[in-house]
């Protein structure tokens, strides 16, 4: 089961939905997110207790200036990286997603290094494509 969005952590009832999925027999329950809510260790503990087993936060830059520029949310880099650290310290499986665009394409090696340093289990690079008619 994958909870995605929009941003699924905006739902106050997400822990209840995750519990419902667990009770329905889903063994793998993933949260695809911007990762900012996981800066709260308490929230991490709540969603893990509910039954989430995988976390997929989005990190789009290797430094705050780039990530925050791309997300248009000042402070989002700090929140997302703190969330990753919280999840890893709680023994969780973390697979990140990074959208590759013109602004970050020259920094993919640095981004990969950061993700390895953060201890993520898997990282994915999503290349933006435009269809031509």
**Which uninterrupted H or E stretch holds 125?**
strand 122-127
> Domain for residue 133, yes or no?
no
Burial class (CB in 10 A: 0-12, 13-18, 19+), 98: buried
* pLDDT tens-place string over residues 6-58: 999 999 999 999 999 999 999 999 999 999 999 999 999 999 999 999 999 99
**The domain spanning residue 16 has which CATH number?**
3.20.20.70
**Residue 55 token pair:** 């976390």
**pTM over 0.85, yes/no:** yes
Residue 36 is part of which domain span?
Answer: 2-127
* pLDDT tens-place string over residues 115-131: 999 999 999 999 977 66
Local structure of 34: helix, strand or coil: coil
CB 54 within 8 Å of CB 4: no
What's the total number of domains in the chain? 1
């Amino acid at each position: 089961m994958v909870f995605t969005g929009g941003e699924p952590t905006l739902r106050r009832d997400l822990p209840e939905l995750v519990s419902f999925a667990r009770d329905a027999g889903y063994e793998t329950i993933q949260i695809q997110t911007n990762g900012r809510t996981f800066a709260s260790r308490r929230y991490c503990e709540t969603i893990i207790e509910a039954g989430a087993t995988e976390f997929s936060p989005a990190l789009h830059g290797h430094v705050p200036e780039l990530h925050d520029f791309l997300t248009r949310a000042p402070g989002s880099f700090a929140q997302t990286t703190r969330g990753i650290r919280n999840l890893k310290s709680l023994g969780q499986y973390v697979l990140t997603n990074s959208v590759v665009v013109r602004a970050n394409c020259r920094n993919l090696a640095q981004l990969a290094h950061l993700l390895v340093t953060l201890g993520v289990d898997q990282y994915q690079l999503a290349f933006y494509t435009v269809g031509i008619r």
